[in-house]
Amino acid sequence: MILSKKLFLASAVLFVLASLSFIGSVGASSEMWSQTYGGADQEVAHSLVETSDGGYALAGYTNSSGAGHDDFWLVKTDANGNMEWNQTYDSWYDHANSMVETSDGGYAIAGSTGWYFSGIHDFWLVKTDANGKMEWNQTYGESEEEVAYSLVETSDGGYALAGVTDSFGAGNYDFWVIKTDINGNMEWNKTYGGAESDVAFSLIETSDGGFAIAGYTGSFGAGDYDFWLIKTDEHGIIPEFPSWTILPLLLATTLTVIIYRKKLYKTQTQQSY
């Protein structure tokens, strides 16, 4: 009798625990969902942010909507992934690779625009308002391949983009970093690389106001491609041993040698008496 009572109690406890874990799992599953966005042709998302209103923004390209020939595609959803609006941006063949929600509540989207075949793209930067309406756009590049893979809004309100260039630098693809003002006007640009292929995929503004850029290098490292991380100052310059320190160091060394030799001569002269 006592045993069956204990069994009953144990079963009751187990039942309550099982029920609680079931309720818990139902609660957790309600947080999970999936959504698709697109038409009959190709849509590819390359960048995602959680927006300040608790929703999401996705950027990539679409072939189904817009002007055709691949357009930048920005999709804004609510917290459950329900599309609130979407916008396409067309220049030519346009692939968005990186997107940020900007401090004014809008969006900045970076990628490439150009002919379908690789080799003659340029960086393309599109700035929109909070509803995805284009405010301005800028292209950067020359006759060879340029593709932007990474974008940040900088602390001064401008933008920094990183990617690859074949028009400038040491040849055979180099890191290319562009710093712009708040309207996308280029303030400076820098290339980093050697004779082989060097491609930047990610850029951050560092806490000291400089930049760190990562990608792969075929020019340096242990062979084939290696991770490559570059740290620069706020102007994209890699700090080196400052050249102005060389002359004072040389003068100080020369003076020391002269004084030492004079002392030595004096000692030798005194000893000769």
Mask of contacts with Ca ion, 195-224, x by CB under 5 A? ---x--------------------------
Q: How far is the CB of 110 from Ca ion (least distance, A)?
A: 14
Question: Which one of the spans 68-76, 201-209, 220-228, 247-255 is the region binding Ca ion (CB under 5 A)?
Answer: 68-76
Nearer to Ca ion, 111 or 141 (CB): 141
- 163, two tokens: 């990617």
Q: How far is the CB of 115 from Ca ion (least distance, A)?
A: 10
When binding is defined by CB under 5 A, the residue of 74, 98, 99, 146 that contacts Ca ion is: 146
**Which residue intervals of the chain are DSSP H helices?**
2-29, 246-272
Q: Count CB-CB contacts under 10 A for residue 89.
A: 23
When binding is defined by CB under 5 A, the residue of 86, 139, 172, 202 that contacts Ca ion is: 172
Answer yes or no: are the C-beta atoms of 244 and 234 closer than 8 Å: no
Residue 156 Cα distances to 11, 140, 152, 230, 242, angstroms: 64, 20, 11, 21, 27
Question: Which one of the spans 51-59, 85-93, 208-216, 232-240 is the region binding Ca ion (CB under 5 A)?
Answer: 85-93
**Which 86-125 residues touch Ca ion, going by CB under 5 A?**
90, 94, 122
Residue 98 Cα distances to 1, 20, 115, 155, 208, angstroms: 70, 43, 20, 18, 23
Is 139 a residue that touches Ca ion (CB under 5 A)?
A: no
| 29: amino acid identity, one letter | S
Nearer to Ca ion, 60 or 101 (CB): 60
| 121: amino acid identity, one letter | H
When binding is defined by CB under 5 A, the residue of 163, 193, 215, 236 that contacts Ca ion is: 193
Residue 186 Cα distances to 181, 189, 204, angstroms: 7, 7, 18
CB-based burial, 100-118: b 16+ in 10 Å, e otherwise = bbbeeebbbbbbbbbeeee
Mask of contacts with Ca ion, 18-47, x by CB under 5 A? --------------------x----x----
Contact residues for Ca ion (CB under 5 A)?
Answer: 38, 43, 69, 71, 90, 94, 122, 141, 146, 170, 172, 174, 193, 198
